[in-house]
Amino acid sequence: MNSPGAHGRVAVVTGGAAGIGQALAERLAGDGHRVAVADLSPADETLSLIGKTGSEGFAAICDVSAPDSVQDFAIAVERAFGPVDVLVNNAGIYPLTAFLAMDWAEWRRVLSVNLDSIYLFGKAFVPGMVQRGWGRVISVSSTTFHSGIGLNTHYTASKGGVIGFSRSPAAEVGEHGVTVNTVAPGLVRTATTAHGPHAAWFDALAQQQAIKRTQEPKDLAGPVSFLASDDAAFITGQTLCVDGGWMRS
């Protein structure tokens, strides 16, 4: 294994301008990674947080569902920081829509952003990890896949696809020192969920958890940090539920 060492690694975080992605980018920067953020929104705040850790950040506007946009981002990251060691697939959208009211365009939009992006970023960065003999791919799924709540057919299908995607490449790239894992949070309080239709769910969901408080973005930072580390070298193809004990399996 050709590990680049705890400091000096490069991490990519999709959807890192705010919310969960921002917390993950900040933590990885604190761990010593230089962090590149891909998002449709400006990531100035995230870059500031990265800078405060003493690390370096890079951000570019990127449509994670568009092949050309992802390729342009990959080229820009390589120019800024060199080869990528850690890929965190976090970008996702989650509109609440009843299946009977869902049209094809919305179905495809959710699957494209949440699942096609995993393929596109994997194709952009995993070959280099394999060639160098070290890499970490960590994708953010959701415990909605385990619970099957309503109004989320496209979202739940996409997040189940994220879990399925992670398992197969894990079997292909493990011998090259590359691990592929998934973390599955519950409902996380972010600026988007706190002011959207999900807001009414927080208290009820917390009471169903073993840890009876609302999940925050930082609750995912530690698990992702671990999976990105050398300590997790023998863990691959796994899904870690990080949801306060809502799903106990």
Distant-in-sequence, close-in-space partners of 188: CB < 8 Å, separation ≥ 6: 19, 20, 215, 216, 217, 219, 220
**CA 111 – CA 116 distance, rounded (Å):** 7
Q: Which residue in the list 73, 81, 134, 155 is annotated as catalytic?
A: 155
Per residue in 167-196, pLDDT (tens digit) is: 999 999 999 999 999 999 888 778 787 776
Q: How confident is the model at residue 1 (pLDDT cuts 50, 70, 90)?
A: very low
Quick one: pLDDT at residue 127? 98
* Top mean-pLDDT range of 134-148, 194-208, 229-243: 229-243
pTM of the model: 0.92
Q: How confident is the model at residue 2 (pLDDT cuts 50, 70, 90)?
A: very low
The per-residue DSSP string of 97-158 comes to B-GGG--HHHHHHHHIIIIIHHHHHHHHHHHHHHHHT-EEEEEE--THHHH--TTBHHHHHH
Per residue in 99-158, pLDDT (tens digit) is: 999 999 999 999 999 999 999 999 999 999 999 999 999 999 999 877 777 788 999 999
Going by the DSSP 8-state scheme, the letter that residue 37 receives in this structure is E
**CA 102 – CA 233 distance, rounded (Å):** 41
CATH 3.40.50.720 fits 10-240, yes or no: yes
For residue 119, indicate whether it is catalytic: no
